[in-house]
Structure 1
Amino acid sequence: MAEKKLNGQLNELVATWSVLYTKLHNYHWYVNGPSFFTLHTKFEELYNEVTINLDDIAERILSKGGKPVATLKEHLELSLIEEATGKESTEEMVESTLADFQTIMKALKKAMETAGEAGDDRTEDLLNATFQSLEKHAWMLNAYLGN
């Protein structure tokens, strides 16, 4: 039972990473203003990291005999976050990215608990490493916003 639940949670993460990847590209391309150079580079760094997270989790699903969701339709249906509107201000881009990271961190915690229940230490370790990276990014984005 925990194994099936974990597969569903991992697929939610795959979908969410996919939407976030596109969203961060949107922000990378459309950020402007005095923080352009800083945020243009930061959004690129983040979408490159998201690519690794997406691939790692999808491959983990495959290695466990599951099937990761792999269409844009599935990603949009299962994602825990919304895609960009294309109308965000620079500050809203940072706030949205931070909120998305916090949403993903909650999902990672739940999936780690489920992996623990299933005795799947390797998945739990993978998710924990991802959580720690997001935690650091969230701290930096909060600092950028003056929080």
Structure 2
Amino acid sequence: MSTATTDIGLEKKTSKELAQKLNALLAAYQLFYMNVRGFHWNIRGDKFFTLHVKFEELYTDALTKIDEIAERILTLGFTPTHAFSDYIEQSTIEEIKNEGKDIVCVQHVLSGLQSLIEIEREVAAVSSEVGDDGTNDLITTYIREQEKLVWMYNAYLK
């Protein structure tokens, strides 16, 4: 194994760039998770029962993805960001506090999903370019799932 490659045979330089992008995705996911968790707790109104369950599905899925992303960063040979202050600083998703209006919460969910997809497409482009099939497979699956969610939450708003 060359000193220029990682333990899984990828170039260290491009793996470092990929790990940085994955850390940006991790930060965004952490904020998305916390926001949706807050929506789950604070939702009110006649859509409570529907959205309470949907928000729980979203944050449960996000928690799984957070772990997968962190483990992928470790697999690449780097350290996942693990301080909430760093997440807030790095995230493209803004922290939402004390929101419980159904339409506003769903709009924030949509915005968050769109931000995640944007970062994931950047990660997928780099992972595809450098031949990192493991990262690419993980991320393109996320994109496909979230594109469907964007369609569904948009349909809800109409």
Question: Normalising by structure 2, what TM-score?
Answer: 0.89
Counterpart CA distance in 2 for 1:15 and 1:87 is 21
The alpha carbon displacement at 1:89 in A equals: 2.3
Match of 2:75 among 42, 49, 63: 63
> Which residue does 1:128 correspond to in 2?
140
The reply on whether 1:93 has 2:105 as its aligned counterpart is: yes
| Structure 2 unmatched runs, 5+ | 1-12
Q: Kindly provide the amino acid, as one letter, of the partner of residue 14 in structure 2.
A: A
Match of 2:123 among 101, 104, 111: 111
The reply on whether 1:47 has 2:59 as its aligned counterpart is: yes
> Which residue does 1:6 correspond to in 2?
18
Counterpart CA distance in 2 for 1:118 and 1:107 is 17
The alpha carbon displacement at 1:64 in A equals: 1.2
Secondary structure of 2:46's counterpart equals coil
Greater radius of gyration (CA):
2
Q: Kindly provide the amino acid, as one letter, of the partner of residue 62 in structure 1.
A: L
Distance change >3 Å, CA 36–CA 88, structure 1 → 2: closer
- What are the residue-to-residue correspondences of 1:30-41 with 2, within 5 Å? 30-41=42-53
1:9·1:111 contact (CA, 8 Å) conserved in 2?
yes
The alpha carbon displacement at 1:85 in A equals: 2.6
Secondary structure of 2:71's counterpart equals helix
The alpha carbon displacement at 1:46 in A equals: 0.2
Equivalenced residue count is 146
Q: Kindly provide the amino acid, as one letter, of the partner of residue 88 in structure 2.
A: L
Question: Normalising by structure 1, what TM-score?
Answer: 0.95
Secondary structure of 2:92's counterpart equals coil
**Post-superposition CA distance 1:32-90 (Å, at most 9, x none):** 10100000000000000000110001000001111000011111111110011324522
> Which residue does 1:78 correspond to in 2?
90
